[in-house]
Structure 1
């Protein structure tokens, strides 16, 4: 059994932040990646807030990371930022509607639309008051907590509570068939009989309403197992129908259901509960993770998202799965950097990596809180995220590969996992190679990429996040003088006018260029000033649609080159 407390313990401190929604951050040293012009006024369908940085007369070199998007970029359908409160200036248009079970059904029978509630330190307005706002919303029904659930439910079902959870709350056994039956009846009355499920303003609902923050962690389940009141057979018997119950209840609107559990939960049943999040998704629900700020840990092998570790350490995502059909919700939450018990002196790095991880998982919705998410400090990056989430290979404005070697300490143990006996099918375990979205770095003879130690990060936010080496390098001494990339054919087929953006470390001497088929760019020369730079290279019209493979090549006599990020951008 893995130690869930090591991974999720600090998360319990998010309650103090969410109760206040916005907090004053501790003073930290912030290094922005680039300077950008002021953003335009916001609207739900805004294009880029910043000018696209093109290739000038063929090649343009600029300092830092380059997140710019072409003028044609638009947010994807069924995508966006969501939070407790809407903030139109930050492109956060979707607010929460939060209720407790006791608040809306203090007695059996009809719902109470006027009562107020309390959960996780928040005072919750009545249902009618919260629904009076005309804007879009998402919902949580805080159901399982002893102070959230109606007293009559525990009395009728004859159940005790378990816990406490990491916020000190005890919970009803939601797996008890009597408790579950009452909760389903409340869901039916609230969403179906009252027609709320069909309200176009309602975008999605976190389910099943348990446990801390309605996030389905396993500490309460483990408490019941430790008490001798729950075993695997009974748990799986309930789990096997719980999600189909909800899908059948919501019918044509089942795409609004979002399961809040995780793949490989830190639960009491060993390998028997490893893939239960994927089972919920297979039943027809969407999925959400709450821990992508710790971007290297635990989310490499994520079957509910279709993400798997390949034998060479790269991550592959099957975005043909139903969960990525464009109707369901694939969500994450990126707001805990200098908050929720976490601390970092390099928030730009932490924000950047967590968002790259979220996009690698093909998320279409992201929980943010503008201040602790560092919207003001890193506006160009967040604008890129806004225009990226929810896109597909055929609709995205860019495809990219973040070159790196990062340690997923979750897989440090001797447990086999899905990788074969002893893990021998994942060479280099637990090191993950790159984060990639429709652009894959490929090792070929004379173009094998090597770990670079030029930009190393250790234990960012917490020790479980391990070590990450950002950037990969050539090795001229070993005969490896370039990098090869394969572009997803679905992206390439839709690409005519493109640029390639290469973020590299300007050290050493000698140039490098871009090769596509028989065409080669002119040389990109290094100055040796030691800074990270991004070279934007214009490529011949339609060249990547014809040949989806390209190479970065060192000039003869050049020193080794470290590259951190490569983007192919549709410039039309």
Structure 2
């Protein structure tokens, strides 16, 4: 293998199937390749409500009914396939120097390469391995790019970046023209873009880790070599160049930049990620691990903060059509310079954030991502990625108040022109997916300190108060939820259960009220632990004409803290 990582079995992926999730129970056939069943349901038995209408288990409950299946165009990807961890899509990485050492030469399929302290096998060798793949061309680094490019274009490099590397100015029209020619020679002339095994390509191939941050752009501006007009002029055509080049396969392109980058052009570069997406390509962020920070207002993903602090996602955007890649990378929890004393919490919140943004692909590294330690949670994530409101196996809301410190800086105005645009700034309410918690008289949810986290992974991640509380003394005796009408219509006529994760403190029961009546009561035991109750709703509790629920305290009950609510059709 091209990297010094733990050996894993080779995966032979059946390209005709749309899903890309694998099971850990595959067997080696006679030819030595690994046949992988892609259409795999939940690996854990579903926790149902039982004959009494309520069943309570300790901790979080991520189970789904056995009929749940992965969405099309979704799954886990990594450097190497790992069947035991349900990772079926491996990487093919090359450097620009490796595949185009000579200006007028064809793509070099036999030479090896290096970038980011990684060694790459020859392109031919990597392509000969079985299985689906994604790709990166490490292009901008001084040691990644062919020397003839710098000589021909007469450019200097900028840096060093945080990994000690210097980079060519990819915005230089001469450099960009040569790189575009290489993309054409590799993906079009060799028909690689048409290869059904190629799931997607990170573009443009700059800068550190081929992630399009603005460290080198800022360096060029500060040196006096780059101005706003020159940069924006290049940017205006760069992504349409690639989209036009890939044609019908443009949906395989994934822009690696972000909204509101730390760039040198003030508001002029705030929404450039939207411009890339609007050109007709997918998008990826590499930093959902600090799950409270920076990605609350994320226009390229259609996510916007509302005046009440909730986030809504515009699913009508083409990026959420199911055709494009909407990706993130969740592997840096006790790695990449991060650390946490509670990796389960960090993993859980990062994945909830990714799903709130409607991601369909997720980069993982099985060990650092804690996939075996939290296997039931990761299996739920696998079955959630890429689902639409009509196909999703559940709708959910994670109740919380969290501080997005990116927006605590008054210099970051974004779309918030006055205080009325977001009165609680920088506090964001909940992570929600087709189930929205609503404050109204008698059902206002209150912040609580029972589960508070500050500076998780890094200081910028701010403070998060997990769970919201009733306040019976003030007349707030429950939580109201509105169900997305599309989800309600999709489950109309089915029996639905609610899973409520609550802090088992105090005394007195609670129930779930719906238009069709109330559920059985959930009794608290005072254990002081987080527990999850699976509660059967009455027939017709959720449907086309029933889109509202309330978790209600019994008369005289102590206040209740709720952290997570899921609605699950049982069929």
TM-score range, shorter chain: over 0.9
Matched, 1:185 2:211: no
Aligned to 1:167: 163
Q: Among 513, 517, 520, which residue is 2:518 paired with?
A: 520
Aligned to 1:27: none
Whole-angstrom distance in 2 between the partners of 1:277 and 1:570: 36
Following superposition, the deviation at residue 283 of structure 1 comes to 0.6
Matched, 1:359 2:355: yes
* Contact 1:402-1:434 within 8 A present in 2 as well: yes
* Contact 1:75-1:386 within 8 A present in 2 as well: yes
Aligned to 1:536: 534
Whole-angstrom distance in 2 between the partners of 1:73 and 1:210: 38
Whole-angstrom distance in 2 between the partners of 1:346 and 1:423: 35
Matched, 1:255 2:254: no
Aligned to 1:547: 546
Following superposition, the deviation at residue 19 of structure 1 comes to 6.2
* Contact 1:442-1:486 within 8 A present in 2 as well: yes
Whole-angstrom distance in 2 between the partners of 1:364 and 1:223: 34
Q: Among 74, 80, 91, which residue is 1:85 paired with?
A: 80
Q: Among 213, 217, 230, which residue is 1:217 paired with?
A: 213
Query: Which consecutive residues of structure 1, in runs of 5 or more, have no partner in the other structure?
Result: 1-17, 24-37
Q: SS of the residue aligned with 1:550?
A: strand
Aligned to 1:100: 95
Following superposition, the deviation at residue 415 of structure 1 comes to 2.4
Aligned to 2:471: 475
* Contact 1:22-1:371 within 8 A present in 2 as well: no
Aligned to 2:482: 486
Aligned to 2:556: 557
* Contact 2:24-2:84 within 8 A present in 1 as well: no
Q: Among 313, 320, 323, which residue is 1:317 paired with?
A: 313
* Contact 1:22-1:369 within 8 A present in 2 as well: no
1:314-359 deviation per Cα after TM superposition (whole angstroms, max 9, x unaligned): 0000111000110100000000011001111100000000000000
* Contact 1:419-1:426 within 8 A present in 2 as well: no
Q: Among 198, 210, 227, which residue is 2:194 paired with?
A: 198
Following superposition, the deviation at residue 417 of structure 1 comes to 2.2
Aligned to 2:286: 290
Aligned to 2:297: 301
* Contact 2:96-2:139 within 8 A present in 1 as well: yes
Q: SS of the residue aligned with 1:551?
A: strand
Whole-angstrom distance in 2 between the partners of 1:417 and 1:460: 25
Whole-angstrom distance in 1 between the partners of 2:379 and 2:58: 19
Whole-angstrom distance in 2 between the partners of 1:248 and 1:149: 24
Q: SS of the residue aligned with 1:123?
A: strand
Q: Among 28, 40, 49, which residue is 2:43 paired with?
A: 49
Q: SS of the residue aligned with 1:81?
A: strand
Whole-angstrom distance in 2 between the partners of 1:297 and 1:487: 27
Following superposition, the deviation at residue 270 of structure 1 comes to 1.1
Distance 1:102 1:275, change over 3 A: same
Q: SS of the residue aligned with 2:42?
A: coil
Whole-angstrom distance in 1 between the partners of 2:416 and 2:315: 24
- What's the TM-score, normalizing by structure 1? 0.93
Q: SS of the residue aligned with 2:542?
A: helix
Whole-angstrom distance in 2 between the partners of 1:524 and 1:94: 43
* Contact 1:414-1:422 within 8 A present in 2 as well: no
Whole-angstrom distance in 1 between the partners of 2:256 and 2:556: 54
Matched, 1:462 2:458: yes
Following superposition, the deviation at residue 39 of structure 1 comes to 7.2
* Contact 2:339-2:457 within 8 A present in 1 as well: yes
Greater displacement, 418-427 / 396-405: 418-427
Q: Among 344, 361, 366, which residue is 1:370 paired with?
A: 366
Whole-angstrom distance in 2 between the partners of 1:237 and 1:120: 30
Whole-angstrom distance in 2 between the partners of 1:418 and 1:325: 26
Whole-angstrom distance in 1 between the partners of 2:102 and 2:419: 53
1:289-329 deviation per Cα after TM superposition (whole angstroms, max 9, x unaligned): 00000000000000000001000000000111000110100
Aligned to 2:424: 428
Whole-angstrom distance in 1 between the partners of 2:3 and 2:306: 41
Q: Among 64, 68, 71, which residue is 2:66 paired with?
A: 71
Matched, 1:125 2:112: no
Greater displacement, 405-414 / 536-545: 536-545
Matched, 1:349 2:348: no
Aligned to 1:408: 404
1:224-266 deviation per Cα after TM superposition (whole angstroms, max 9, x unaligned): 0011000100000000000000000000000000000011001
Following superposition, the deviation at residue 20 of structure 1 comes to 4.6
Distance 1:489 1:22, change over 3 A: farther
* Contact 1:509-1:526 within 8 A present in 2 as well: yes
Whole-angstrom distance in 1 between the partners of 2:416 and 2:381: 35
Aligned to 1:62: 57
- Which structure has more relative contact order (CA 8 Å, sep 6+)? It is 1
Whole-angstrom distance in 2 between the partners of 1:20 and 1:492: 49
Following superposition, the deviation at residue 271 of structure 1 comes to 1.2
Whole-angstrom distance in 1 between the partners of 2:195 and 2:24: 32
* Contact 2:54-2:521 within 8 A present in 1 as well: no
Whole-angstrom distance in 2 between the partners of 1:444 and 1:238: 50
Whole-angstrom distance in 2 between the partners of 1:418 and 1:100: 36
* Contact 2:444-2:470 within 8 A present in 1 as well: yes
Aligned to 1:26: none
Whole-angstrom distance in 1 between the partners of 2:38 and 2:294: 33
Aligned to 1:9: none
Following superposition, the deviation at residue 422 of structure 1 comes to 4.2
Aligned to 1:234: 230
Q: Among 504, 507, 522, which residue is 1:506 paired with?
A: 504
Distance 1:21 1:486, change over 3 A: farther
- What's the TM-score, normalizing by structure 2? 0.93
RMSD value, Cα: 1.4
Q: SS of the residue aligned with 2:134?
A: strand
Following superposition, the deviation at residue 555 of structure 1 comes to 0.4
1:345-391 deviation per Cα after TM superposition (whole angstroms, max 9, x unaligned): 10000000000000000000000000110011100000000000000
Aligned to 1:568: 567
Distance 1:473 1:22, change over 3 A: farther
Whole-angstrom distance in 2 between the partners of 1:413 and 1:22: 43
1:74-102 deviation per Cα after TM superposition (whole angstroms, max 9, x unaligned): 11000000000000111100000000111
